[in-house]
Amino acid sequence: MQKKLLVMGGDRRMEYAAATLAADFDVSTYGFAESPPVWEIGQADILVLPYLSLRGDYLNTPTLSQKIPAVASLDMLRYGGVVFGGGLPPKFLSYCSDRAARVFDFFDDEELTLRNALLTAEGALEILLRETDCAVNGSEVLIFGFGRVGKACASVLASLGAEVTVSARSEKARADAAAIGYKTAKIGDLNALCAADAVINTVPQRIIAKAEISAMKKEAMILDLASAPYGVDFEAARELGIRATTAPGLPGKTAPKTAGELIARSVAAKMKEVAENGQP
């Protein structure tokens, strides 16, 4: 008998994830439309939450008018079931522990995280091409942060001929970037900001303030890919006439089918491991 799997909340990528998982599980969904899930409380064997699962104490349901308390999503899961989600906070994990639920966080899946970083970089490229008047080839792009997303953005843009500069606090990160062939700068280097045609931030801390924005070209653009509280002083950018925008959840907007299939693959692989280990 197929295990009952409930996908709750999220954007279009979760719809695609549910459709893909239906090949191997008895799937129901909730959080994409107003209709309730087909199962009663406590019947789901597996609960799949969005890549960024919660907004405060509520489930992340951007397409749903009502708010669903996070703990209410767990009411749908049987005792001892399995929970998948992204960026699950300690309070929610405590709820899971109370129900003896086994938890898998998408951010702990290295392959999924790396592939999502590449999808984010592709989305960033699409925004730059749409929102700026210059070609990527030959442009000066300054990237703040050299984690997975920063590395993916640098690789994609450099492959198209952009002159990439990586700005990072860590000396090791700058050395790693230089070894690949990128130019590097320390955080707060105004010369790097002066030269940039586009600035991409991946650091979720305020590092691009009024002084940094004042150094930029008037026609330059800032794209903040970090999570809240972001890294850019957007009010200062508006005052100074510099275009600045956030782009949260890019894979769900620019490549929802691919992103959803990646999530489904991660869930299926983990559930196969659970089965092979003889766990219910």
Is residue 37 over pLDDT 80?
no
**What is residue 39's predicted lDDT score, i.e. its pLDDT?**
59
Mean local confidence (pLDDT), 30-50: 78
Mean local confidence (pLDDT), 264-269: 97
pLDDT digits (tens, 9 = 90+) for 189-209: 999 999 999 999 999 999 999
101 compared with 228, residue with greater pLDDT: 101
Band of the pLDDT at 227, cuts 50, 70, 90?
confident
Is residue 271 over pLDDT 70?
yes
pLDDT digits (tens, 9 = 90+) for 104-147: 999 999 999 999 999 999 999 999 999 988 899 999 999 999 99
Mean local confidence (pLDDT), 69-92: 92
**What is residue 160's predicted lDDT score, i.e. its pLDDT?**
96
Band of the pLDDT at 278, cuts 50, 70, 90?
low
**What is residue 248's predicted lDDT score, i.e. its pLDDT?**
82
Write out the two tokens for 223.
């794209």
Mean local confidence (pLDDT), 236-257: 92
pLDDT digits (tens, 9 = 90+) for 155-185: 999 999 999 999 999 999 999 999 999 999 9
**What is residue 31's predicted lDDT score, i.e. its pLDDT?**
81
What's the mean per-residue pLDDT of the chain? 92
What is the CATH code for 4-108+256-276?
A: 3.40.50.720
Is residue 91 over pLDDT 70?
yes
Instruction: Give the homologous superfamily in CATH for domain 117-248.
Output: NAD(P)-binding Rossmann-like Domain (3.40.50.720)
193 compared with 57, residue with greater pLDDT: 193
**What is residue 133's predicted lDDT score, i.e. its pLDDT?**
86
Ranges for all domains in the chain classified under CATH 3.40.50.720? 4-108+256-276, 117-248
Band of the pLDDT at 148, cuts 50, 70, 90?
very high
